[in-house]
């Protein structure tokens, strides 16, 4: 055996592409309940096992855009369990759901992806209308006080996310 052939892994077998799930007429129509005792709660789904030779981290989550089904699953589970608190005391962690607990119900998504999707897109408290002159003035005053601490600035502007604050401050 030559030294060049010893470290080469065998080629991967061909796997045909997986067909997309059927399109549902209602966002929650494709979601299966856990049991008859709690029909509103989704069953947690584990990601598929990685192919031989692939690391688990590469196969455990997806960087693709969010689908309507995934949004519906995330909305349903957050409405059922509640919105996780950002800062939780060590002793009260078991009382409230955390994003890793919620991510178990959205296959192929990490806790961070679920949290960011909720905070920047799905949270019903987000203001989507154009910024008022009063909000613009408060944004500028708060930026002068705090600098570029966008999460802290967003806390001063109810309904606005840190990304919205950055985007609005950069627009003419």
Q: Does 1.10.10.60 match the CATH number of domain 23-124? A: yes
Q: How many CB atoms neighbour CB 33 within 10 A?
A: 13
**Structure tokens that stand for 80 in this block:** 């059922």
Q: Rounded to an integer, what distance in angstroms lies between the CA atom of residue 142 and that of residue 15?
A: 54
pTM of the predicted model, to two decimals?
Answer: 0.59
The CATH number of 133-170 is: 1.10.10.60
| Per-residue confidence in pLDDT tens, the chain, 172 aa | 555 555 666 666 766 666 655 544 444 444 444 344 455 555 555 555 555 555 555 445 678 899 999 999 999 999 998 888 755 455 555 566 888 989 988 988 999 999 999 999 999 999 999 999 999 999 999 999 999 999 999 999 999 998 898 888 877 6
Give buried/exposed letters for 4-28 (b at 16+ CB in 10 A, else e).
eeeeeeeeeeeeeeeeeeeeeeeee
């Amino acid at each position: 055996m030559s030294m060049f052939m010893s470290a080469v892994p065998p080629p991967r077998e061909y796997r045909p592409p997986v067909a997309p799930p059927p399109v549902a007429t209602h966002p929650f129509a494709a979601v299966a309940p856990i049991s008859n005792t709690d029909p509103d709660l989704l069953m947690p789904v584990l990601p598929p096992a990685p192919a031989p030779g692939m690391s688990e981290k590469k196969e455990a989550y997806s960087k693709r855009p969010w689908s309507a089904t995934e949004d519906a699953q995330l909305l349903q589970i957050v409405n059922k369990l509640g919105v996780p608190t950002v800062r939780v005391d060590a002793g009260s962690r078991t009382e409230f759901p955390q994003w890793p607990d919620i991510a178990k119900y959205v296959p192929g998504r990490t806790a961070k992806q679920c949290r960011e999707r909720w905070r920047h897109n799905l949270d019903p408290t987000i203001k989507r209308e154009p910024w008022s002159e009063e909000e613009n003035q408060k944004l500028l005053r708060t930026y002068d006080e705090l600098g570029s601490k966008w999460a802290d600035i967003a806390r001063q502007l109810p309904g606005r996310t840190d990304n919205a604050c950055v985007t609005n401050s950069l627009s003419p």
